[in-house]
Amino acid sequence: MKKTKINLGLIGLGTVGSKVIDLFYKNKSIIEQKIGAEIEFYILCDVDKKRFNAVPLSKKIKRTNLWEEVVDNPEVDIVIELIGKEDIARKIIVESLKNNKNVVTANKAVLAKHWDEIFSIAREKQKLVYFEGSVGAGIPIIQALNEGLAANRIKRIVGILNGTTNYILTKMLKENISYETALKSAQKNGFAESNPKIDVSGIDTTNKLSILSSIAWSTWIKPENIYCEGIDKIDIIDINFAFNEFNFVTKLLGIAKLVENKLEIFVRPCLIPSGHPFSSVDNEFNAILLEGDACGNIMFYGKGAGGAPAASAVLSDIMFLARQVAVGTAGKIPYVSYTRLSNISIKEYEKIEGCYYLRFTTVDRPGVLAKISGILAKYNVSIAGVFQKEPLSKYRKAVPILMLTHKTSELSIRKAIKEIDKLSITEANTVLLRIEENL
């Protein structure tokens, strides 16, 4: 069935939602030309009525504070879910599909956690869910994985996927300030929420890595199965030592790597060589590296946060969908092709190998190094370098000893640290950071 006018129902008039409306009217002429049909907002929904006044829209467009009035409205072709909350957002997406509507969302948490449910219903109802804005904001990475690189077997995904944490880590290194001070600066400049937990704990990065991996390997990689460590325990001391002593920059990375049909997948702060392109991805910028068996390494880089870049993705999704709605083909081909029967399994995190940076805090006494290296040897951890530093005032008489290791398993290094941290010569918990030398 062809349509000459496409009606949009937008739920959520926050930062992204209001930018979508701005961009829509700013570029309406090129948008309609590219779609080949008229397109208009038919109904807007927000629980906060004040937000309706902020968007200078025609009185003809309906307003409601009940999402059901959008989702149930027979005139609406495409539902745009931009509320950010989880439970209601899931309901909006699912009910829209059940009501035979196509959906655009940027909600990474809901997608990551309800992947199977959402795409099963979409397939069953022959409707589309587009979600370019969910990862990397304006960077068209979802489409690239889904279509542009579809012929490849993806071997690896590495990403700086969270603008807030990248902003904080950049500030810490460049201005030599503590985590707490950098977080405050991020909040002041609009790069962190007043409750920053989802970002700084690594959960947001985990959700995004879940989405990218689920597409790449045509299965559902649940976020709860991804090892996750945030940046909230990061000490400026280690960021400085890593940079000044070893030329490493500290970045929160999401990594998924297929090794003999087992997926090594985790989110954690990593040390990367300062010459690598990722080391200069600063502030709110994101970068994603994909390795395919045919295309080799491909890198994408752009603003990973902010209303306008996210609106770019959401509105491009709307256009892509609207073109299909206009000619009556939307949903005949599922956007995400996946099977629940994938033979890819996730490797136990403790079995993953890597090289590490260690900072021990010990008393200044003969025999300390012998004790530590003895325990490391017991767990087969091979040392690549040792650097004993001057005591820092913060540590009073305690001495920081820095160590880089050769490749070892996460389990071995953790067991060794556990034993070392019990020694009477150890004055504070040992700091462990993963090194990613060959990105």
Per CB under 8 A, residues contacting a copy of itself are: 19, 23, 26-27, 30-31, 33-34, 36, 132, 137-140, 143-144, 147-153, 218, 277, 280, 292-303, 308-309, 311-313, 315-316, 318-320, 323-324, 326-329, 332-333, 337, 339
Q: Is 262 noted as a catalytic residue in this protein?
A: no
CB of 255 to a copy of itself, least distance (A): 18
Query: Which helix H or strand E contains 165, and what residues bound it?
Result: helix 163-175
Identify which of 82, 83, 124 has the alpha carbon closest to the alpha carbon of residue 104: 82
Nearer to a copy of itself, 214 or 312 (CB): 312
Residue 400 DSSP code? E
Nearer to a copy of itself, 19 or 114 (CB): 19
- Backbone φ, ψ for residue 409 (5° rounding): -85, 155
For residue 257 the two structure tokens come to 């790597």
Cβ contacts of residue 177 below 8 Å, gap of 6+?
171, 185, 236
| β-strand partners of 251 | 270
Nearer to a copy of itself, 277 or 374 (CB): 277
Nearer to a copy of itself, 163 or 223 (CB): 163
d(Cα 105, Cα 160) in Å, to the nearest integer?
21
Nearer to a copy of itself, 296 or 385 (CB): 296
For residue 73 the two structure tokens come to 């409205």
User: 114-123 — which CB contacts under 8 Å span 24+ positions?
Assistant: 114/90, 115/210, 115/211, 115/214, 115/220, 115/222, 115/338, 116/220, 116/340, 117/90, 118/90, 118/93, 118/94, 119/334, 119/336, 119/338, 121/94, 121/97, 122/97, 122/331, 122/334, 122/335, 122/336, 123/334
CB of 308 to a copy of itself, least distance (A): 5
d(Cα 397, Cα 381) in Å, to the nearest integer?
27
Nearer to a copy of itself, 308 or 386 (CB): 308
| 291 touches 155 (CB < 8 A) | yes
CB of 326 to a copy of itself, least distance (A): 8
CB of 314 to a copy of itself, least distance (A): 8
For residue 301 the two structure tokens come to 């880089």
Nearer to a copy of itself, 331 or 400 (CB): 331
d(Cα 236, Cα 386) in Å, to the nearest integer?
20
Candidates 113, 208, 251, 303; catalytic one: 208
CB of 215 to a copy of itself, least distance (A): 11
CB of 351 to a copy of itself, least distance (A): 26
Cβ contacts of residue 46 below 8 Å, gap of 6+?
11, 12, 13, 14, 17, 52, 65
Chain centroid to Cα 97, Å, comes to 25
CB of 333 to a copy of itself, least distance (A): 5
Active-site annotation, residues? 208
